[in-house]
Amino acid sequence: MQLVISTVCLALTSAVIGNAYLQKQQFYPAVVYITKSNASMAVIYIQFFVIVFMFGKLLRKIFLGTLRAAEFEHLLERFWYALTETCLAFTVFRDDFNPRFVALFTVLLFLKSFHWLAEERVDFMERSPVLGWLFHIRVGSLLTMLGILDYVLLMHAYNSTLVRGPTVQLVFGFEYAILLTVIASTTIKYVLHAAEMRTDTPWENKAVFLLYTELVIGLIKVVLYLLFVVIMAKIYALPMFVFRPMFFTIRNFRKALNDVIMSRRAIRNMNTLYPDATPEELRQSDNICIICREDMVNHSKKLPCGHIFHTTCLRSWFQRQQTCPTCRLNILRTPAINSMAMPRADDAANPAAAGGAGAVPAGAAVPGAAGVAPGAAAPGAAAGEAVATAAGAAGAAAAPGLDAHTNGAVARNAGAPNFADIFGDASGLSNLAGLPPPPPLLSPFMMQSPFGYFTPPVVPPPPMPLDLTRFNEEELLAMEGNLRQHIEERLKMLRNISLMVDSANLLMQQYQLLVARLPPPATTTATTTTLPAAVAAAAVPVNSSPNPVYDEPSTSRAAAAKVEQTTHHQLSAAAVAAAPSSVVSDQVTIEDLGAEDDDDVDVDVDVMPSTADNCVNVDNEESTELSELRKRRLKFLEERNNSPTTTTTTTTITTTTSSDKTD
């Protein structure tokens, strides 16, 4: 087809020229003859376009090789749009309409097509499995050539506008300026892609660079278009022919801006809200990022729901959607405090409730226990008052069925203190206090507790469970429920925690008031009859997800040591946080907290009441720990005194006086 057209055209041209030459016999008259005849000129013009077209093909062969089908399609589509716009531009400049003008527009369209093709090629780089050196040479030379041409033509247009005032060169100058920005962005993209190809590892920040390139180039383009429209509207008429590209440019710019904002938000979220996945967690999961299907060696993040992904994969996904790719948990609406996603409460509830009397694993370090503990805790907290009475019974019982960690467990007879009273106290206090709920914890694992009243535990948290192989599939699955009931349970749990924290806060305030009023030489009493404190602030985050994370014990231990020195022989009080009763936590972190003797004040296990500067790492499993500790404390007191009245005393405030009383 093309060949036929070219041949016909060539034949026509030769006929026209031959005819002219035959008639005039000399060069100059022949030229005059042709230019005078409209038909001849039409043929010459057509020949000119054919030559341009063929030249374009030649250049394409040199610089681009064969076009892919998609490239050709896009080229054609854009070409027709550009052609229409050129025709529109002709209407504005109909006074200067002459062959030179048409030629200039032809050159512009010609160059534009190559810009589009270069853009497509560079975009294709990312999708192409193999690229030879030929590709790089071609793209490199094409970009250089186009850049130089754009610059030269821009300068020409600029100079001619300066010399001759605003003419049609204004349009060309503007068009070449736009093309220069296109070349700039294409070159930057090319450099970025090429740089990534040279390395064997994925270049994580490339997406960010690309995004910002897009933004800056988009901004320049928008400014250029606006300037052009204003200038054109002042000198000529409203330039209709740039409205379509301007619209698309503005839309792209808006999108880029939006992307940048979303990306920044995603990055910020990721840096602040979600912890890096630890090597242990990576080992325990299958270690494949489900987004890119590649190994996660480093730079991976763990979402509140426990799913782990590459940081970069997650970032690009969060630019579009703020949900977990796996479970679609909306991560923006989920405060990070939920990050300890509760397991299926009902699963663990049965064994916990069933255990009327059983074994409390006394060892703080019970590997494997951690993953299950919240399971046992959840129903207790969730059920709230309803469980309160049962809590005592169940409280001392380790959940049977979690036999994996009953080794080292000490069987105890469970006394059943009346937890309902305690709970009532607590809620009353919290109502009185009306304290605002604590702010949501930002980082679930690393953040210091916002309520620094609790002394840190001295016993380091239990080590990581080394493997989760003892759980079967269902148990593991059960730990991450996201059905309605689970979410409801979690919400209830959170409410209870907030209640508990409020009451604990109040208690500590009262305690501090009392301490302030007390005479300084408390040591005298302390040396003799100080009751060991049973302050409960366990810093053992228990994670329901298969990969529990633990706090760094070092800081809390150091803090505790300091406290121990200073308040060594001073009065110690048991400020037991009155908490909503939780059922059993089969995992005890502070060993023998309640069971120590009066003489054992120096033992490193004792926990001193602290002032506000002692920070404790508390997370939302605190209730489990607190109730556990309190329960043990109560039990201890009971065993010692066999007087149930002390329990209530302890729960409110235990100062030196009250501890004396208990003795």
Applying CB under 8 A, the residues found at the interface with other proteins are: 68, 123, 125-129, 193, 196-197, 199-203, 290-294, 313, 316-317, 320-321, 323, 325-326, 328
Fill in the amino acid letter for 198.
Answer: R
CB of 448 to other proteins, least distance (A): 35
Task: Give 126 or 598: the residue with its C-beta nearer to other proteins.
Answer: 126
CB of 185 to other proteins, least distance (A): 16
Task: Give 329 or 429: the residue with its C-beta nearer to other proteins.
Answer: 329
Task: Give 17 or 292: the residue with its C-beta nearer to other proteins.
Answer: 292
CB of 131 to other proteins, least distance (A): 9
Q: Ramachandran region of residue 380, left (φ > 0), alpha (ψ -120 to 50) or beta? A: alpha
Is-contact 390 379, C-beta < 8 A? no
Tokens for 270? 């990721």
CB of 118 to other proteins, least distance (A): 17
| Alpha carbons 275 and 286: distance in angstroms, whole number | 18
DSSP string, 168-226: THHHHHHHHHHHHHHHHHHHHHHHHHHHHHHSSS--TTHHHHHHHHHHHHHHHHHHHHH
Task: Give 25 or 199: the residue with its C-beta nearer to other proteins.
Answer: 199
Is-contact 307 325, C-beta < 8 A? yes
Tell the burial category of 229 from Cβ atoms under 10 Å away from its Cβ (0-12, 13-18, 19+).
middle
Task: Give 189 or 492: the residue with its C-beta nearer to other proteins.
Answer: 189
Task: Give 193 or 490: the residue with its C-beta nearer to other proteins.
Answer: 193
Is-contact 581 382, C-beta < 8 A? no
CB of 60 to other proteins, least distance (A): 19
Tokens for 641? 């005194």
CA 163 to chain centre: 56
| Alpha carbons 406 and 366: distance in angstroms, whole number | 8
CB of 294 to other proteins, least distance (A): 7
Q: How far is CA 523 from CA 359, 455, 565, 568, 593, in A?
A: 38, 19, 13, 9, 22
Q: What are phi and psi of 578, to 5 degrees?
A: -80, 115
Tokens for 392? 């005592």
Task: Give 127 or 517: the residue with its C-beta nearer to other proteins.
Answer: 127
CB of 125 to other proteins, least distance (A): 8
Task: Give 125 or 429: the residue with its C-beta nearer to other proteins.
Answer: 125
Q: Which residue has 């020229």 as its token pair?
A: 17
Q: Which helix (H) or strand (E) holds 645?
A: helix 645-652
Fill in the amino acid letter for 450.
Answer: P
Task: Give 197 or 250: the residue with its C-beta nearer to other proteins.
Answer: 197
| Alpha carbons 460 and 440: distance in angstroms, whole number | 25
CB of 444 to other proteins, least distance (A): 23
| Alpha carbons 260 and 29: distance in angstroms, whole number | 66
CB of 199 to other proteins, least distance (A): 6
CB of 202 to other proteins, least distance (A): 6
| Alpha carbons 124 and 129: distance in angstroms, whole number | 10
The candidate with the shortest Cα–Cα distance to 367, out of 586, 99, 147, is 586
The candidate with the shortest Cα–Cα distance to 543, out of 302, 416, 371, 663, is 371
Tokens for 599? 């003489």
Is-contact 598 534, C-beta < 8 A? no
Task: Give 39 or 297: the residue with its C-beta nearer to other proteins.
Answer: 297
| Alpha carbons 477 and 462: distance in angstroms, whole number | 23
Task: Give 294 or 604: the residue with its C-beta nearer to other proteins.
Answer: 294
Q: How far is CA 4 from CA 17, 19, 269, 378, 641, in A?
A: 20, 22, 63, 82, 112
Task: Give 262 or 494: the residue with its C-beta nearer to other proteins.
Answer: 262
CB of 335 to other proteins, least distance (A): 21
CB of 210 to other proteins, least distance (A): 11
Task: Give 195 or 240: the residue with its C-beta nearer to other proteins.
Answer: 195
CB of 283 to other proteins, least distance (A): 21
Q: Which residue has 């501890």 as its token pair?
A: 659
| Alpha carbons 642 and 67: distance in angstroms, whole number | 91
